[in-house]
Structure 1
Amino acid sequence: MTIRVLLADDQALVRGALAALLDLENDLSVVGEVGRGDEVEALAVETTPDVVLMDVEMPGLDGIAATAVLKARLPAVRVLIVTTFGRPGYLRRGLQAGADGFVVKDTPARELADAVRRVHQGLRVVDPALATDSLVAGESPLTARETDVLRAARDGGTVADIAGGLFLSEGTVRNHLSSAIGTTGARTRAEAARIAVDNGWL
């Protein structure tokens, strides 16, 4: 039986390399490729993959959000997140979104192919070092609203821009930014956003 695989990664070179590696395996077949997170669901409906290899950082919709959307529409499709960024927060959020596995891109080709097979069999596959880091790091200390505000601040918007985008008052935005700065131990909102990104909280 051939396992049908869909690749979702915004870097064409990476998609091509993954496709070439996986197609060398007799029991794996790449049935589709996509470079944007907001195009994963439609292509999955069209190509009916068994497993989706999902990058985290993609335009349109990040891979974690795209996983949640895909699982809501096609719960039987297995999702293996394959990312350059082995951040503990990404692992936790990915699994919460419904991902069936999480590995980093420097995983050897043979191990990646085996991870696809294991996920297809219904097993959970998680990079062991990342699993340990995630347990040590624990849950994000940020509230949901602090996370929203920091995510908007990361893109360089002013307090007024953030307030308008999140339908909050400027005073409320300042309060959430101040709280997030304190929670992360940062000195500025830019540093707080960087710390949150580095930990995979955003």
Structure 2
Amino acid sequence: MAFFQNTRKPEGLGGKLMVTMMNHGHASLSAFGLQHIAIQENASCLDLGCGGGANVKKLLARSPQGHVTGLDYSEVSVAKSRKCNAAAIEAGRCEIVLGNVMDLPFPDDAFHVATAFETIYFWPDLAQAFAQVFRVLKPNGLFLLCNEASGADAKGAKWASLIEGMRVYSSEDLRRLLRQAGFSNLKMSENPKGWLCIVAEKKATPQPKQPL
């Protein structure tokens, strides 16, 4: 099972193979997730746990006048994602950052959209990570979260028992933690395969009325 530990943090030759597999293997999941969100042409987007960079490329296509940042804590993933998106990086429309979702290296209110595909299983403290995502989103920004495992069947639990550091969350767990972080207007979708998609919004804080 050592090879599959690379799903958590790709390293070495096995990690290089894994991120290539992820780019192809997660294509259907990302298509399922992205149909649930509207992205403006000039949006600033953040892909968390960007892996091999395929979803960064899709976000660039959805925001042709915008900017996309990919973040991963694996050096192998960062290198692959930079290679996959080299033209956009050269054009100044993309940046791939080595960093950790537990302490995002971005200012407050920086992004219109944040995405996380098949990655939150490995975030060590989901409450803290969601709070970080909430912080870096602009008011009215959207957080798109997509998982193949929703906790509704035994498949996810089996993988979690085999891969160190993996945890599968139910839709109710995620709903509670997202609301705890400040998100609202949660929209949840599940397909016949059991894939789970959640879109959560960082509502703008109403400004107090000024006295006449």
TM-score by length of 1: 0.40
Higher relative contact order (CA 8 A, sep 6+): 2
Q: Who wins on radius of gyration, i.e. which is larger?
A: 1
Q: TM-score, normalised by structure 2?
A: 0.38
